[in-house]
Amino acid sequence: MKIDVFKVEEWMNEYEKYSKFDLGNTTVNTLSLNKLFEITNTNKNDFFERLSQKNLGYGYITGNPNLKKGICSFYKTISENEILPTIGAAGANHLIFYSLIEPNDRVISVIPTYQQLYSIPKSFNADVQYLHLKPENNFLPDIKELKSLITKNTKLICLNSPNNPSGSLIPDDLMKEIIEIARKNDIYILCDEVYKELNQNEYFSSSIADLYENGISVCSMSKTFSLAGLRLGWLASKNKKIIKSCMHHREYNMISCSMIDEEIAALALTKSEEIISQNKKILSENLEILDNWIQSQEHFKYIKPQAGTTSLLYYDFDVPSKEFCHRLSTEKGVFTTPGFCFELEYCFRIGYGKDKKIFSEGLKKISEFAKENRGLYDTRILK
């Protein structure tokens, strides 16, 4: 089976090594186990002693009940049997396509987004159509465009909110319009919510799993809880058929998740509010730095992100994004991700969840780079 190269992952594997200033990653400062024990007031020796006595069997096949209880607290109406743990959100997305999509099914995916959402269904010979998120529309889905893409073969709409890379967040009223279209045409909605709760204000949009009976929420421990190394995610849906089908397919490629990962994730979820508010603080401080920086720049522009950990920066130099980011990495040590990885040009993605000082210095290096290259490249009008 052929599948397109996963551009963003390939880029990151290649360029992370030049990263003196990490503006390329999408996680917020990740947590060590020591830090997690501190946040959760857990005695490390007791925790490991308890874990050491457990037999390393397959654990709970459908997920550790404490973990599922913790996950339920992120939804208003979802119960434990409506959740299926997976290997990261990446595993959840894959499992959903593997379970639901057949050749010639139409799948509508937002773009730009995490490439799984369109490249996996394409590899299953689905008829994949793009729903474009544009800066002039604050990177939100356009209802007219969505309606024009619906056919009788449409099985699934893939959304990603908060969006990676743009940082847009679909508000409930717009989501309800999308749901109405899906409901009328008997279409599932997968919403990748891996940056859940990481927004810039108090209010956070509802989950698709709470709003729509045929909605599937995908989330994980990686971004919201800064525990990407656990490789633990989940899908949640009220539709019993979806859960059953995913469970059936899951038996073929994972059986169960790691019981150790599940124990640690369950522990983290007991203090989810603390972890989230810490992450939100880092993100809002860095976003203020980014916003001030961009106001002072003549070569860069952006749509201020509403949520998530990333933003798209547009530049006015007439140079492909791959060359731009390659030079930034190799000459200035600033790790960014080119628009090319998201089928876009004249822009790049930055992640603003890392150390404040490194972030500020990285931005300074980008200004320096722009200044030095002013004469070298023609400029375009930044709209």
Ligand X SMILES: Cc1ncc(COP(=O)(O)O)c(C=O)c1O
**336 lines the binding site for ligand X (CB under 6 A):** no
Q: Nearest distance from residue 361's CB to ligand X, in Å?
A: 24
Q: Which is nearer to ligand X, 198 or 363 (CB)?
A: 198
Among 56-64, 87-95, 101-109, 353-361, the segment contacting ligand X (CB under 6 A): 87-95
**Piece in contact with ligand X (CB under 6 A), picked from 50-58, 220-228, 333-341, 368-376:** 220-228
**b (16+ CB within 10 A) / e for 99-124:** bbbeeebbbbbbbbbbbbbbbbbbeb
Nearer to ligand X, 312 or 370 (CB): 312
Measured between alpha carbons, how far is 142 from 137 in angstroms, rounded to an integer? 8
Closer to ligand X at the Cβ: 75 or 114?
114
199 binds ligand X (CB under 6 A): no
x/- string (CB under 6 A) for ligand X, residues 269-308? ----------------------------------------
> Least distance to ligand X from the beta carbon of 321, Å?
18
Question: Which residue's structure tokens are 């889905």?
Answer: 141
Q: How far is the CB of 162 from ligand X (least distance, A)?
A: 8
**How far does Cα 355 stand from its chain's mean position?**
20
In the stretch 140-159, what mask flags binding to ligand X with x, by CB under 6 A? --------------------
CA atoms within 13 A on the CB side of 342: 28
207 binds ligand X (CB under 6 A): no
Q: 83 or 370: whose CB is closer to ligand X?
A: 83
Query: What is the spatial distance between Cα 367 and Cα 178, in angstroms, rounded to a whole number?
Result: 40
194 lines the binding site for ligand X (CB under 6 A): yes
Long-range contact pairs involving 266-269 (C-beta distance under 8 Å, separation at least 24): 266/64, 266/66, 266/67, 266/69, 266/70, 267/36, 267/40, 267/42, 267/47, 268/31, 268/36, 268/40, 268/70, 268/221, 268/225, 268/227, 269/67, 269/70, 269/71, 269/73, 269/225
| Contact indicator for 191, 208 with CB cutoff of 8 Å | yes
* Residue 90 is a binding residue for ligand X (CB under 6 A): yes
Query: From the CA atom positions of the chain, what is the Rg in Å?
Result: 21
Under a CB-based contact definition with an 8 Å cutoff, are residues 57 and 208 in contact? Answer: no
* 22 scored as a contact of ligand X (CB under 6 A): no
Instruction: Return the DSSP state at 199.
Output: B
Q: Which is nearer to ligand X, 12 or 39 (CB)?
A: 12
- Contact yes or no for 23/335 (Cβ under 8 A): yes
User: Counting contacts by CB under 6 A, is residue 197 touching ligand X?
Assistant: no
Q: Exactly one of 64, 109, 154, 220 binds ligand X (CB under 6 A); which one?
A: 220
192 touches ligand X by CB under 6 A: yes
Q: Does residue 222 bind ligand X (CB under 6 A)?
A: yes
Q: How far apart are CA 114 and CA 192, in angstroms?
A: 9
CB of 104 to ligand X, least distance (A): 26
Rounded Cα–Cα distance for residues 242 and 287 (Å): 38
Is residue 337 involved in binding ligand X (CB under 6 A)? Answer: no
Q: Which of residues 59 and 167 has its CB atom nearest to ligand X in the complex?
A: 167
Task: Choose which of 24, 59, 88, 167 interacts with ligand X (CB under 6 A).
Answer: 88
- How far is Cα 75 from Cα 10, in angstroms, rounded to an integer? 33
- Does the protein bind ligand X through residue 83 (CB under 6 A)? no
228 touching ligand X, by CB under 6 A: yes
Cα angle 130-133-138, degrees, rounded to a multiple of 5: 170
Q: Max CA-CA distance within the chain?
A: 66
Q: Which residues bind ligand X (CB under 6 A)?
A: 26, 88-90, 114, 160, 164, 192, 194, 220, 222, 228, 233
